[in-house]
Amino acid sequence: MSKSDEEFGQVIDLTDVSKARRGAEATFEQGLLDLLASALPIGKAVAVTRYAVLRSDCASDEEYRNAKQSKAAEIRKHFDRLVADGIVTGRVSIHWHPETGTPQVSLRTP
């Protein structure tokens, strides 16, 4: 091995290769999990006031749509966790209140 090769690293055996997880690990807010778990299984809806998105807070229609899409993705991630844990079944429905910008979450009805 030349001196320039040593500057970049070293040759190792394939059995010594360590692998890390790819990508970011999902994080969950226990309060949102608890709120969804307390209402959805008994047929109630949830207003997630902490995730409200108002058009007036956004500089453009695109920013507004992106903000709502981001919050909805967080809600779906938490819902999917509850499904994986066996707490709820079905599919989630998210409707945005037209005045308060609050996502209203419930189970989809067939």
- What integer pLDDT is reported at residue 36 of this predicted model? 97
- Total domains in the chain come to 1
pLDDT of residue 5: 57
Gap between the Cα atoms of 76 and 69, Å rounded = 10
The values of phi and psi at residue 85, to 5°, are -85, 0
Residue 9 lies in a domain: no
Residue 4 has what pLDDT? 54
What range does the domain containing 72 cover? Answer: 28-107
Query: Strand, helix or coil at 65?
Result: helix
Would you say residue 6 lies in a domain? no
pLDDT tens per residue across span 3-52: 555 677 777 777 777 766 677 778 999 999 999 999 999 999 999 999 99
- Averaged confidence pLDDT in the chain: 89
